[in-house]
A and B are shown apart, each in its own frame.
Chain A
Amino acid sequence: GENVEQHPSTLSVQEGDSAVIKCTYSDSASNYFPWYKQELGKRPQLIIDIRSNVGEKKDQRIAVTLNKTAKHFSLHITETQPEDSAVYFCAARRGQAGTALIFGKGTTLSVSS
């Protein structure tokens, strides 16, 4: 089955710096890769996603890149702010639309001012 690896597990940056989180997946059939931000005790919130037919997607300070050949995708956050501090999860959809997401283990991002 699908396996998603995520690195690093923790990341500390200074306000204004960039943060990069990387994930790899095992199932070449996976075709949808969302990123979620989760605050303590709350549901995951989708922050950006990318489909397998796209190499890069950007939304203001957040961008995601996908390398299908290498089976890895990355989240890039620029100009980080203290409110970006949270746990971030990458995920891969196991199969066709409507199937389950498999999550990475998460990255705790701390942005200090």
Chain B
Amino acid sequence: GAVVSQHPSWVICKSGTSVKIECRSLDFQATTMFWYRQFPKQSLMLMATSNEGSKATYEQGVEKDKFLINHASLTLSTLTVTSAHPEDSSFYICSAPTSLAGSYNEQFFGPGTRLTVL
């Protein structure tokens, strides 16, 4: 099956710094990727849709200047949390749909990145 990786798996940073999270599709090309955020004991909330070669589409209430998304290639999307604050501490998960045979555009999720802002 399709594999999506994320790096780093966890990161601790100081308040005010920026953190970059990478999402890679390892064995398929993804023109679209999605970024979700999950707070403890809550659901996955869609943050934005990352589109290869064009601007990301952000969900209502998500600050595009704070959560910078770049999708520079067909296998890599990055999420940069700028000027991170403790309230940004969360589990960030990316996903990518694939049209691999039999998948019906099933979405494959990365393993997630645990961000802790001190």
Chain A residues with CB under 8 Å of chain B are 32, 34, 41-44, 46, 49, 51, 89, 97-106
Q: A42-B111, A42-B112, A43-B110 are in contact. Are A89 and B43 (CB under 8 A)?
A: yes
**B110 proximity list for chain A (CB < 8 A):** 43
Contact call B111/A43, Cβ cutoff below 8 A: yes
- Seen from chain B, the residues whose Cβ lies within 8 Å of a Cβ on chain A are 32, 34, 42-46, 49, 91, 93, 95, 97, 99, 104-107, 109-112, 114
Bound form: Cα–Cα A28–B87 in Å: 35
CB neighbours of A104 from chain B (8 A): 43
Bound-complex Cα distance A32 to B106 (A): 9
Contact A43 B112 (CB under 8 A): yes
Least CB separation from B97: chain A residue: A98
Contacts of A98 in B (CB 8 A): 32, 97, 99, 105
Distance (Å) between the CB of B48 and the closest chain A CB? Answer: 9
Which chain B residues border A105 with CB–CB below 8 Å? 42-43
Cα distance, A69 to B46, chains bound together (Å): 26
Known: A42-B111, A44-B109, A97-B99. A102 touches B104 (CB 8 A): no
